[in-house]
Chain A
């Protein structure tokens, strides 16, 4: 064939050398993607606001500070309006960012840890361990995620810790699949075989040789995992299953339901906050995916 094939030489050029460059190249590609950069900027701002919440919106966000149902843009004291109890929606959004980000990030870390552990074990050892763990992955992909989260949180009582763990527990299977596939593929590569021939132990092989190379695809899913964790947390707290001691965007949307006819902004404002953050995360996720694997254009599992 004489058709130019731009990707072919790169694929052929892979030798026994350890592929370490892709991460740097991917980061540069990420910075080159405009939506991803916009997403990162938005996320940075939200994170900043969340950290500085006590200064941005001082005082208790659950306190009554105004008349009920002030519309957005009417009062300087409550720029985004107030809810049925006269609470400041702006303060709620600012403080709610903390719950969303903390739970989203922590649940993702839990999911990544469990998923990597299971996937690496299954992919590295293969055989019977693999068989059992794949069945476990299949089982957890069969039980509907959100239903399981709801049941677990209902049984053990909603706190920030139980919610995080519950979301983490349902979000590991895709990571495990990914890591398992990477470990299986990388386990047969020359640099891994070389390390094994040099007498490296299993743990060293898994942690030092294979894991660093298996990580890029995992990292590129992390952003989307955070997004879906935030969506789950918001749905949970919308249903009244959030941590009652926390301000949460989902709970705020839920609280606005009763006054939907007269004051729909009470639900609209915190909902918009969710949309902005999740959209930003998905933009970053898309950028990461393309940066780490240009052939995959937007496939997500």
Chain B
């Protein structure tokens, strides 16, 4: 029974949050200068006040705030974000088209950050106070302090321009002549290296720091001494009895990190001309296409929300004590 109820509770928790997100995006729409009719009037060049008022009536823009809010909500539920002026296409399809490449980039960056960060953090905790720990701490604080766009640009200068070993940007070699699907994949991977690493550095720092402090905490617990008294060598103790306990607090913030990563995607994709949501956001920014921006904001918030739900479920699995409590 519990096994079913707990995930349901987690899902139920997302409802008020998504309504909140929708309301925030609605408020932002209200803040935006001019509505669709102004845009139309601007594009047609000639429109009287009367025709504009008529259009507003027809589009429901003269309705009270609450009705417009409801209309906004129902649009979001259907993933209907309206039409983009610049691309002359439905915003939803523009976003859907770009989403996979952003998810691929983020997925790789997150995986890299988790693996490296957790390894480094554990290593630092196990050697706490040593020169290795101090050296790594300094490197990680550097990663924590470097703006992603700058490290991206500098890595282009070094690896793409100076050494010429990696491409400067884009997702594939344009007009590339590949002998087989393997080559095409390799080409794609080569294009992913720099953006992935540039994006991951900050999160490597975050996870290493989180992991270091939570591992230090777990290392001081009684059951770790017991495990050592059993005769398990240190690395087995760490792997079996420390890691899983230490991972719990690290996973709790994953939602916030996904959010930060989506923000980072705007900058990184711009630097590397990566054709994803972030790049789309930048292009929308340049042409002041608010509908696209709001759709991206809404979607990325929903993504964070689902990550949070996923983390809750993951913790149910990681920690038997929560299973019991719920």
Contacts and interface: CB of A to CB of B under 8 A. Distances in A.
Q: Do the two chains touch directly in the complex (Cβ atoms below 8 Å apart)?
A: yes
Q: Is the interface of A mostly helix, strand, loop or mixed?
A: helix
Given A141-B256, A144-B300, A271-B147, A257 B290 contact: no
A147 B285 CA distance: 11
Interface in A133-186: 135-136, 138-139, 141-152, 154-156
A291 interface: no
Given A143-B304, A238-B267, A296-B213, A275 B285 contact: no
Interface in A263-293: 264, 267-268, 271, 274-275, 278-279, 281-283, 286
Nearest to B128: A297
A279 B145 contact: yes
Given A143-B301, A260-B153, A299 B213 contact: yes
A147 B262 contact: yes
B contact face: mostly helix, strand, loop, or mixed: helix
A231 B290 CA distance: 24
A240 interface: yes
* Most B-side CB within 10 Å, residue of A139, A278, A286: A139
B259 interface: yes
A154 B266 contact: no
A128 interface: no
A154 B288 contact: yes
Contact of B255 (A142, A234, A241, A279): A142
A264 B159 CA distance: 13
A301 interface: yes
B260 A278 contact: no
B132 interface: no
A264 B160 CA distance: 12
A128 to B, nearest CB: 14
A281 B141 CA distance: 11
A256 B212 CA distance: 37
A235 B216 contact: no
Interface residues of A, number: 52
B17 A155 contact: no
A145 B285 contact: no
Contacts of B28: 151-152, 155
Nearest to A253: B150
A256 B150 CA distance: 11
Nearest to A148: B297
Contacts of A278: 145-147
A146 B128 CA distance: 34
Contacts of B32: 155
Given A138-B17, A260-B161, A301-B253, 5 more contacts: A135-B17, A155-B32, A235-B266, A268-B157, A282-B144
14 contacts: A142-B255, A143-B300, A148-B297, A151-B290, A239-B267, A260-B161, A261-B161, A267-B150, A271-B150, A271-B154, A279-B141, A279-B142, A283-B141, A297-B128
Interface of B: 16-17, 20-21, 24, 28, 31-33, 128, 137, 141-142, 144-150, 153-154, 156-157, 161, 206, 209-210, 212-214, 216, 253, 255-256, 258-260, 262-264, 266-267, 270-271, 281-282, 285-286, 288, 290, 293-294, 296-297, 300-301, 304-305, 308
Interface of A: 135-136, 138-139, 141-152, 154-156, 227, 231, 234-235, 238-241, 250, 253-254, 256-257, 260-261, 264, 267-268, 271, 274-275, 278-279, 281-283, 286, 296-301
